[in-house]
Structure formats: C-alpha cells, structure tokens
Structure 1
Amino acid sequence: MRSTFGIKQRPPGELPPPEDGEKVGVMRRRARQRLSACGLACVADEAVLIVSELVTNAIVHSGGREITVILSLRANFLRIHVHDGVPSSHLHPKAPSNAAEDGRGLVLVQSLAEERRGTWGIDDAGATTWCELRLATS
C-alpha cells in the first residue's frame, strides 16, 4: 500500500485544520483494509495504531505539505513507513513527563514494535519515521 496526501502548510505552533486531522482516520481505514485483503489481519490492530501515531506526528510536527504512507513486506516483517519530506532537528524523541498530555506516541510505537519483535527508527534526517513488526511464523 502506498498513499500520498496533501496537508495545509502552516506556521510552527499552529494546530492543523480539522480536514488534515481527518486524514489520520482515512489512513487507518486504508491500512486495515489492505492488511485484511493480504491475509494479515493478525497484525492489523498494532499496525493501524502505529499508522495513526506516525501520521499524526507528521501532520502535527512536520510543517510540510505532503505525507506518504507505505506498508510493505520485507522478509518476515511488515514495514510501516511515513515520510513527510521535512528534515527535523529532533531526531531522538524526548520521554514525556508524567503530567504531559501528549508526547507518548513514539513511546507507544516503540513498545508495539518490541512486543512484535520488531524495531522502529527515523531516517532521512528526520523526514521519515518507520516501524517494522515481525509477522508470526507457522
């Protein structure tokens, strides 16, 4: 699955408009449909949550105008790749404080990746975030 969509460019600190936020739900639905169609419903819940977190981060933090979401199979892994085209100076996410109301998305992505014996990372100087989930072997 490969989906590219535009978002409104806005100044740093300004919240995204509702129509950009709605694209998160569209990407979740597309990911679930594609995974189910490929016989990968067993990993769909985790993958959809990761898609949601990575796309939300790209919309809220990138400052870019276009986001690409790619789901692909590599060996025995599902790879989720979100590219916003905008390098970031924040290549390593900070752990949120206990009182923080946000900032837990990448911690959740890391936890889900570890549970599925996978990994996650940031490439392209921060313009791409990815996650790999190991698929069950029979």
Structure 2
Amino acid sequence: MRLVTRERLTSRGLTCVADDATLVVSELITNAIVHSGGRQIRLTLDVRDGVLRIRVHDGVPGPRPTAQCPEDDAENGRGLVLVQEIARSRQGAWGVSDDGATTWCELSLVAC
C-alpha cells in the first residue's frame, strides 16, 4: 500500500506530500490489521479542495482508537501519535468513524 500511495500521489504531481502520506497510510493500515485481524481492508485516497483525504476501512466496528503516548520502553503503540502529529504539521486532522471501522486523516496541500 505504501508503494501504491507514493505512485498515485507522484503521478498527480503531489510529491511534496508523498512522504507524509505514505507514513500515514502505513500506520493506519498497520492499526487496522492489528485491531481487525487483517480481514478485508480498504484504502481510499481522495484529493479535493486542496486537501488529501486518506481513509482506511477495516469493516470491523469496535472501540474508537485514540492517540496515546506509550511508555518509553514500549516497542509499539506510537502509530496514531505519528498520524496525529503529521496531520497537525500539515494543517490537517485525523479521526475515527463513529462505529470505529474507518480511520481517516486529512492533509492540507496548501504548501504543495
């Protein structure tokens, strides 16, 4: 999915956001696999009105994940914190659908 994301953005002339978007996609997909059992996961990339919208849908309703800082010696648990910080740095936002099955992130393309 990282390669697909990078290729789609690069082909649209959005190389300026490709690194950040690729990392966001990687973290959201990893989160979906870990928490849904890796069933069918759908990635959607949409560019509209100067915003890149990334959505990862795992089809499994459940508790809404939150970005929490893990202990310093923890080996995982930083993915959504990274997504949150990338979104902030790009004047964007991130969140989870009410049913917990879709996690999304929006990145502004103004700097592109």
TM-score normalised per structure 1: 0.76
Do the aligned partners of 1:64 and 1:86 also contact (CA within 8 Å) in 2? no
Q: Determine what percentage of the aligned residue pairs are the same residue.
A: 58
C-alpha distance in 1 between matches for 2:4 and 2:38: 22
- Deviation for aligned residue 1:60: 1.4
SS of the counterpart of 1:73?
strand
1:62 partnered with 2:33: no
AA at the equivalent of 1:122:
V
AA at the equivalent of 2:47:
L
Rate the CA distance shift 1:83–1:28 in 2: closer, same or farther, 3 A. Answer: same
Do the aligned partners of 1:69 and 1:83 also contact (CA within 8 Å) in 2? yes
Which one has a bigger Cα radius of gyration? 1
Q: Please list the CA deviations of residues 93-114 of structure 1 after superposition, one character each: whole Å capped at 9, or x if unmatched.
A: 4331122110000000000000
Gaps in structure 1 of 5+ consecutive residues: 1-26
- Deviation for aligned residue 1:91: 3.6
Rate the CA distance shift 1:137–1:100 in 2: closer, same or farther, 3 A. Answer: closer
Aligned to 1:83: 57
Aligned to 1:128: 102
Q: Please list the CA deviations of residues 60-102 of structure 1 after superposition, one character each: whole Å capped at 9, or x if unmatched.
A: 1112520000000131110000000001224434331122110
Residue among 104, 111, 127 paired with 2:78: 104
- Deviation for aligned residue 1:124: 4.1
Aligned to 1:22: none
Rate the CA distance shift 1:137–1:64 in 2: closer, same or farther, 3 A. Answer: closer
Aligned to 2:21: 47
C-alpha distance in 2 between matches for 1:84 and 1:137: 31
Do the aligned partners of 1:82 and 1:128 also contact (CA within 8 Å) in 2? yes
TM-score normalised per structure 2: 0.92
Do the aligned partners of 1:50 and 1:109 also contact (CA within 8 Å) in 2? yes
C-alpha distance in 1 between matches for 2:107 and 2:51: 5
